[in-house]
Structure 1
């Protein structure tokens, strides 16, 4: 990445208090004429949804530009910033998702596209660290692999909103290790802290993982620079990811969070919902485990997450 693209937000945006600007009537007409012309340019778009999206984007984008009286210097910074986000993105790191997350855009999209329905489990952010083709485990097995951390027994059920058990639901789970890193953040091609399993004939599931710990999102790139310049923390509340799918049911992408975590109010991607905060009960060393696993002198935790899936045809 060249030096031009390494400029930070703080380097270019003035730290002087904004001076109120009231455009003249003639200036307002110049700006509004441009908006009308840009909106009209999409009138012949044959896809009505695409036309709606583009015209709304233009309307809100121009309103933002006019509201803050954007300078050419600041516009150039924005271009540099987005270019840097693209440069650092690859098949193992998605900086654009990270940017969407820290601006609350990911969470707002999820809120809109997963409207509350009866007692269905709430959705939250997908995050940038999901991978396809995770290893399959059987109920009761361990997702941690070589990842280090305190063992955690996770169990629960999968049901529909009428209380019917859902057997054979696919449950994808993934999490960071105790050092706050996902497997994809290491360079040795390890696969750890992730797997998929299926609910059993009664709709129940269980597995060993790691007790979630707080960690920072990747902040060594442009998104991290933006957070630093704006005085924001990169820290995420401790969590364990789930993605649950079953025929006839709406896909659920969510996390569970750790009760008592001080970061629950300050999660940098705004992903915490009260219903997703769970108690992770610490068990003294030597406490018998649910499956008879011998953990020696290790302490461990246990938690329960009963998953409720909304029907596939619920309003979006």
Structure 2
């Protein structure tokens, strides 16, 4: 027998008198869709309690360095969907993707050319490129906020360190060029010791992200972007657990034998180079 609709949905909607119009729009739609979901699956009381316990555990595991709700949003594809809706950029602009749960605000401001990953496990990699407008003009004073895991896929905060590692902020000069040393990023699983990990296992999904290095790129008068660069030779590019891979962000990293690096320094082990030009959109520009 089909469950009666009752009039509870309309009662909830009529009870709302929000002072903020946008809040009213969002909450009204949430109530309608949530109630429709409950009716569609005929949610059982035990399932409702399991959902409440899941959300409770997600809140309890969150800390200043771990955001389980961001991970939940990412793994359900919500983060990348919100990104797509809010960042309709011209085709030639650098694409945006998810922030991820490991961003740590306040990375050190470093001179251009710095080694961000000094003392960090991993294969050396030299990154370079230019910050450009859509018509290929250089952008002076653009800031790259950079972070990645180590060569085993572990971020500093996962290792219990209070010291930021493989992170830094660099600003471009008049020619818009940037360069720095770090490591070639490694693939890794998202945390699976919390409720999101249990959810992924129950869904029959793997927890892995492909190799990537993170950037927040900003410049006065331009739209800031949150993005990654993905080495083209790594696994999981077609099955990223957070659905963050975009074709324009996949880059061929080049391997070099020990010798002279692009910075002029001697490197005694094999190393990699990555060249990529970021193209930013002026504040008023949007996709047609």
Please classify the TM superposition score into its range, dividing by the shorter chain length. over 0.9
Rounded Cα–Cα distance in structure 1 between residues aligned with 2:43 and 2:83: 30
- Contact 2:132/2:139 (8 A) holds in 1: yes
State the Cα deviation string for residues 11-32 of structure 1 (Å, max 9, x = none): xxxxxxxxxxx616xx13x1xx
Rounded Cα–Cα distance in structure 2 between residues aligned with 1:146 and 1:229: 38
Which residue, 266, 277, 285 being the options, matches 1:306? 277
Rounded Cα–Cα distance in structure 1 between residues aligned with 2:65 and 2:222: 29
Rounded Cα–Cα distance in structure 2 between residues aligned with 1:289 and 1:278: 19
Rounded Cα–Cα distance in structure 2 between residues aligned with 1:132 and 1:265: 29
Distance verdict in 2 for CA 1:180–1:294, change over 3 Å: same
Which residue, 89, 96, 105 being the options, matches 2:62? 89
Rounded Cα–Cα distance in structure 2 between residues aligned with 1:158 and 1:315: 19
Correspondence list, 1:229-308, <5 A: 229-286=202-259, 288-296=260-268, 298-308=269-279
Rounded Cα–Cα distance in structure 1 between residues aligned with 2:253 and 2:40: 46
- Contact 2:216/2:224 (8 A) holds in 1: yes
Aligned match of 1:152: 125
Correspondence list, 1:54-203, <5 A: 54-203=27-176
Offset at residue 145 of structure 1 (A): 2.6
Offset at residue 186 of structure 1 (A): 1.5
Which residue, 10, 13, 35 being the options, matches 2:9? 35
Which protein shows a greater Rg? 1
Rounded Cα–Cα distance in structure 1 between residues aligned with 2:76 and 2:95: 20
State the Cα deviation string for residues 189-234 of structure 1 (Å, max 9, x = none): 2321110101121011000011011001111111111111111111
Unpaired runs of at least 5, structure 1: 1-21
Offset at residue 188 of structure 1 (A): 3.3
- Contact 1:118/1:161 (8 A) holds in 2: no
Runs of 4+ off more than 3 Å: none
Rounded Cα–Cα distance in structure 2 between residues aligned with 1:181 and 1:90: 17
RMSD of aligned alpha carbons: 1.3
